[in-house]
Amino acid sequence: MVEILPLLKKLISISGLSGHETPIRELIEATWQPLVDELSVSRLGSLHALKRGCGEQPRRSLLVAAHMDAIGLMVTGIVDGFLRITQLGGLDPRVLPGQPVTIHGREDLPGLIVQPPAHLLPPSNQNGPVRLENLLVDTGLPPGEVSQRVRAGDLISFAQPPVEMPNELLVGNYLDNRASVVALTHALDELQSRQVAWDVWAVATTQEEVTLGGAMTSAFQLRPDLAIVIDVTWGSSPDSPSYRTFPIGKGPTLGYGPNIHPGLHQAFKELAERLEIPYKIEVMPRHSGTDAIGIQVTAEGIPTMVLGIPLRYMHTPVEMVSLKDIRRAGRLVAEFAASLSGQTMELLTWKD
């Protein structure tokens, strides 16, 4: 049985930034190896894990995707031993000053994101949050040594250690989207004792934060009949709008909108109610902001569903998630996979 908390803490302690996912992929591959029948890596670096079904050939297939890449920083230049930086994926520069980081140069180096005193900043940025182009990374090394060990283009990952909070909450960096990778792992674990008619492809996708390239290419290669995307969504906090955020620890969200097949939405809603798994409806009036954007329109189109795990402080080094929501999302996926039959596609209709 996979223990969720130690696995999640391990996953958020590995970098695996967008376009550079090898370190995190290797850890996920080792975790999934005893849970599946076959493992492979796509041309864009996504991890494909096949759990074969027991139905007659040719079997239909379900793809369950959770992106494994993470946001971070990249070195753009070196000035007097300090590193100038740019973002890799979307992040909020207001929370960066004072954050510990790891610079992945010729060897890994510790560093600290710092901001110059206000009087040394450009006049246009002496008040309010310091813009990213005016922030620096200090390694504590002399300039000559920095130039030998770091170069433009080197990656920088957050180094905030995980913090366990009461009520099964965990705080740390890269919970977007390693929390969903753990939910998918939990689903695979649950399926070990279940009969599943369809083949199930568990896919840890690359580059969701920047291009959606991993999801689109994996969906095109595997050509599933149905797809589920697990990702994080906006967790509520004081003064956050209730119609745009969702409570932590109260269950996953079920996406609803043009990016989601209405028949799948209804199936998950009925399944969650039957299993007494709490959930919230997440209205997605345009695209979902997830890998579903690419998967849904691959080839002739793939009916797709989106599950959200509420997360506070998204795209910061101190994201917060509930282990209860991770378990519930994983169980919901496992139960859906186990419910698939030879009649599923015939019964799945587009009804708004």
Give me the active site residues, please.
208
CA 331 to chain centre: 18
The answer to whether 12 and 177 have CB atoms below 8 angstroms apart is: no
Residue with tokens 């309010």: 128
Phi-psi region of 299 (alpha: psi -120 to 50; beta: other; left: phi over 0): left
The answer to whether 304 and 260 have CB atoms below 8 angstroms apart is: yes
What element of type H or E holds 280? Answer: strand 280-283
Hey, is 44 helix, strand or coil?
A: coil
Give the pair of three-digit tokens for residue 334: 């496992």
Question: What is the pairing mode between strands 136-138 and 61-67?
Answer: unpaired
Residue 70 DSSP symbol: B
Residue 3 DSSP symbol: -
The answer to whether 214 and 222 have CB atoms below 8 angstroms apart is: no
Nearest to 183 by CA among 14, 326, 12, 352: 326
Give the pair of three-digit tokens for residue 266: 């209804």
What count of other Cβ atoms lies within 10 Å of the Cβ of residue 262?
17
- For residue 289, give the amino acid letter: G
Residue with tokens 């803490």: 9
Residue with tokens 């130039």: 147
CA 45 to chain centre: 15
Question: What is the pairing mode between strands 108-114 and 136-138?
Answer: antiparallel
